[in-house]
Amino acid sequence: MVEIYVIIPFLQKHFYAICFLEVYAVTQTVIKWCENYNRNNMNNSVNSLINNTISDIYKGFLAYMSAFEKLTKLVPRNFSERNWDQLQALHRKRLRLYKDKLGVTIEKCRTHLGNQAFSRKMWREIKNAFSEHICDQPDQELAESYYNAVIRKTFPGLAVDEELMFVYQAYKSCHIEPSTSLFNNYPPGLGLRKIFEQIMLDFDFGAPFYDKEGDIDYLVNGVKEIILSRYSTTRNTTTQVLKSVFYRNKAAYLIGRTYIGNKWMPFIIPFVHNEKGVFADTLIFDPNIMSGIFSYTRSYFMADIKIPAQVVSFLNSVIKHKRPYELYNAIGFNKHGKTEFYRDFLEHLSQTHDQFVLAPGIKGMVMTVFTLPSFNIVFKLIKDHFDPPKNMTRQQVREKYKLVSLHDRVGRMADTHEFEYFHLPLDRIHPDLMQELKNTVNSLLEIKGNYLVIKHLYIERRLTPLNLYLEECSLEEAKQIVEDYGDAILQLAKANIFPGDMMTKNFGVTRQKRVIFYDYDEIEFLVDMNFREKPRPSSFEEIYAAEPWYDIGPQDVFPEDFKRFMIGRQDVKQHFFEVHRSLFDPCHWNDIKQKIQKGELLHAFPYPMSMRFRPEEEI
């Protein structure tokens, strides 16, 4: 043990040094405590930002889905009451819903994040935490798309970014096996007639049937003629019908499948409601017609769907060649359909090597259009300057495309998706296309590294331009296609759409040989147009006047002038004029206009009239 008389002199000699060391130690302790305190506070602050942002996005998504479901649940009543105006209004309101809810969410996120909205590190944390937050969500894939939309608008200038966004889905949503909670199951032991009787009981449309027994007779005979004439039932035979009813315009569609002949045989039963009651209109087994019912040229269905991925899975088994994005579009989840399309696009790019080129056909005065030959899509960009006589603005063109997105497309107008900051690899762009883009849409272009960034574009299904199709097809094919061309114009008219520029270059032909309109910059509502007969000249001066000698209003249309430009191919021109005489008659156009003004909804059937069970005069 050290004696005290030895320590005291040592303490006296080193007193100040000891005090300094003690103060230093205390100071270091305080500094470390402050650092830990600040670090904890900072972590708490960051965690709070992350949690608040996740909460904002998740609550915004739930609010959207709740409102979407609420509007959809109103549709069956509109169908049962034949309230078509309200049904159409619900459709438009539901389409606007996403943008409205998204705007609220974005504003909240911007408020919470402040300058952190530009932080990649912050968004990485948010994405990871959000992914965990929605892992048990039955509509997880839709929540991911909602998140993507939020970050794109909250983080300015952000392009598609796999690190910060759900570029690839977390799970294969369309490979989930359908649950029996999704469909009604009808075993073969019931017998064919009993099965249809049970189906009619299970699906109550809230209105009396016109002729239920007659419907069952038609359906039974249809199955016997198409299915049982080729296949026999076994103990494994079963029929499944989705519990969700698909409503559109004046019809309600039941989607089902029967396991027979060691494979699933899909079918669709459309029900129509008129003043006589509800009735089964036909029974559809043809896969091409079924595909057309879910076509990109038709309005989205209104159907009460709990788990979208599983409904898409079921539909995919029924309509096999439809891509998942097309089915998501068809059932009303078009924003996620856009996500699924982009995933398809990225996958296709990774597996191909061809270059983007200008789309075939006559160059447009308003749009620059290009395509990837191996991919069945065109990319449309609004030009910086329009060639005469076009005198509209870029914003006016965008409004025309918006009009189409909200309107009933009656199987005659192509659906579009709108993209911002769309990335394309520079080495995949043909030099001729690059030069054309620089000449016509330079303000929309930006080069970042190895990518061309396009600030705004539309994507649309690629079709064969009608003018090109007419140059190459046979006389018989030409006659059929010009008849459908006229039908397309008249069906658009009945849906209150006047195409404006009706030249054949503005229409396309599908693989099913159906004519579709795809140039929307001059589109107008039919009821806003004034259809007139051209005044007859009464003097030599009027006959040879360089300019029209009569007044012409901005909305005036003279149908007799259509003959000058509608068909260029000489050997079918007269056939077209004879088949579609009404196209050149202002009285016919005004008759359609008056019906629309009276509130009449002119239903466009997505299948041939010859397929309907009953003659038109009966119903």
Query: In this structure, is the dihedral angle defined by the CA atoms of residues 347, 351, 357 and 362, taken in order, positive or negative?
Result: negative
361 pLDDT higher than 60 = yes
Residue 437: per-residue pLDDT: 97
Give one DSSP letter per residue of 142-176, joined into a string.
HHHHHHHHHHHHHSTT----TTTS--S-SS-GGGS
**Cα 31 from chain centroid (whole Å):** 59
Query: What is the pLDDT averaged over residues 572-591?
Result: 96
Asked, for residue 601, whether it belongs to a domain, the answer is no
Claim to verify: residue 485 and residue 552 sit in the same structural domain: yes
pLDDT tens sequence across 144-168:
999 999 999 998 777 788 899 999 8
Q: Please choose, from the candidates 142, 144, 148, the residue with its C-alpha nearest in 3D space to the C-alpha of residue 160.
A: 148
DSSP category for residue 59: H
Q: Say which residue, 37 or 236, is predicted with more confidence.
A: 236
Instruction: Tell me the range of 17-21, 168-172, 532-536 where mean pLDDT is highest.
Output: 532-536
Q: CA dist 445 to 373, 423, 426, 433, Å?
A: 22, 10, 12, 13
Token readout for 407 is 């309107």
Q: Where in the sequence is the domain holding 457, given as residue range(s)?
A: 357-584
Residues 106 and 189 in one domain: no
Q: Assess whether 405 and 505 both reside in one domain.
A: yes
Mean pLDDT of 92-103: 94
pLDDT band for position 9 (50/70/90)?
low
* 98 in a structural domain: yes
Same domain, 465 and 371: yes
User: Do 199 and 160 belong together in one domain?
Assistant: no
Average pLDDT of 47-69?
Answer: 94
201 part of a folded domain: yes
Question: What is the rounded distance in angstroms from the CA atom of residue 47 to the CA atom of residue 513?
Answer: 57
Tell me: the pLDDT tens digits for 389-418?
888 899 999 999 999 998 889 899 999 999
Predicted confidence band of residue 216 (pLDDT cuts 50, 70, 90) = very high
Q: Are residues 156 and 255 in the same domain?
A: no
Inter-CA distances, 82 with 215, 272, 496, Å: 20, 10, 19
At 38 the pLDDT is 47
Res 174 pLDDT > 80: no
Calpha distance 560→8 (Å, rounded): 122
What's residue 29's pLDDT?
55
Same domain flag for 368 and 461: yes
What phi and psi, each to the nearest 5 degrees, are found at residue 260? -155, 145
Assigned domain for 24 exists: no
Q: Where are the alpha helices (DSSP H) in 441-474?
A: 466-472
3 state SS of 139: coil
Query: What tens digit of pLDDT does each residue of 309-352 get?
Result: 999 999 998 888 899 999 999 999 999 999 999 999 999 999 99
Contact criterion met (CB below 8 Å) for 401 and 480: no
Tens digit of each residue's pLDDT (9 = 90 or more) over 492-502: 999 999 998 89
Q: What is the CATH number of the domain that holds 497?
A: 1.10.510
Identify whether residues 226 and 151 lie together within a single domain. Answer: no
Is residue 30 over pLDDT 50? no
Q: What pLDDT, on the 0 to 100 scale, is given for residue 599? A: 82
What pLDDT, on a 0 to 100 scale, did the predictor assign at position 2? 46
- Could you tell me the two tokens for 120? 């990649």
Cβ proximity of 139 and 309 under 8 Å: yes
Where residue 16 falls among pLDDT bands split at 50, 70, 90? Answer: low
Interhelix angle 84-113/394-406, nearest 10 degrees: 120
Residue 17, domain member (yes or no): no
Q: Is the pLDDT of residue 102 over 80?
A: yes
Q: Confirm if 355 and 430 have CB atoms less than 8 A apart.
A: yes
pLDDT tens, position by position, 250-292: 999 999 999 999 999 999 999 999 999 999 999 999 999 999 9
What value does the mean pLDDT take over residues 429-435? 97
Residue 352 lies in a domain: no
Mean of the pLDDT values across residues 585-596? 95
Own/partner pairs for 94-98, CB < 8 Å, 24+ apart? 94/68, 94/302, 94/332, 95/300, 95/334, 95/405, 95/406, 96/406, 97/64, 97/67, 97/68, 97/71, 98/64, 98/149, 98/335
Give the separation between CA 383 and CA 444, rounded to whole angstroms. Answer: 9
Are 64 and 98 within 8 A, CB to CB?
yes
Looking at the fold, whether 388 and 310 belong to one and the same domain comes out as: no
What backbone phi and psi angles, to 5 degrees, belong to 172? -80, 85
Number of structural domains in the chain: 3
Task: Report the alpha-carbon distance of residue 614 to residue 569 in Å, rounded.
Answer: 38
Domain closes at, from 332, 367, 398: 332
Same domain, 362 and 270: no
Query: 556 pairs with which residues across the strands?
Result: 530
The confidence band for 44, taking pLDDT boundaries of 50, 70 and 90, is low
| Four-residue CA torsion sign, 195, 197, 199, 202 | negative
Residue 12 lies in a domain: no
Those residues with Cβ within 8 angstroms of residue 530's Cβ, 6 or more apart along the chain or in another chain = 553, 555, 556, 557
Residue 190 has pLDDT above 90, yes or no: no
For range 193-200, the mean pLDDT: 95
- Distance separating alpha carbons of residues 98 and 156, to the nearest angstrom: 20
Segment 580-608 mean pLDDT: 90
In a domain, 214, yes or no: yes
Active site residue 304: no
Nearest Cα to 283, choosing from 218, 327, 231, 377?
A: 218
User: Are 111 and 80 in the same domain?
Assistant: yes
List pLDDT tens digits, range 66-78.
999 999 999 999 9
What is the DSSP annotation of 511-542?
Answer: TTS-EEE---TT-EEGGG-EE-PPPPP-SHHH
pLDDT at position 175 is 53
Closest CA to 146 of 102, 188, 181: 102
Predicted local confidence at residue 176, as pLDDT = 54
Stronger pLDDT, 181 or 351, i.e. the higher one: 351
- Does 252 lie in the same domain as 280? yes
Domain boundary among 167, 200, 220: 167
Per-residue burial over 25-43, b if 16 or more Cβ lie within 10 Å, else e, is eeeeeeeeeeeeeeeeeee
Would you state the pLDDT for residue 598? 87
Mean predicted confidence (pLDDT) in 88-100: 94
Global confidence as pTM = 0.87
Coil, helix or strand at residue 503: coil
**614, two tokens:** 């009953």
Catalytic residue among 56, 139, 211, 415: 415
> What is the predicted pLDDT for the residue at 259?
93
Rounded Cα distance between 97 and 571, Å, is 49
Closest CA to 258 of 222, 300, 282: 222
- Statement: residue 200 has pLDDT above 50: yes
CB 411 within 8 A of CB 292: yes
| Confidence tier at 11 by pLDDT (50, 70, 90) | very low
Distance CA 511, CA 55 (A): 46
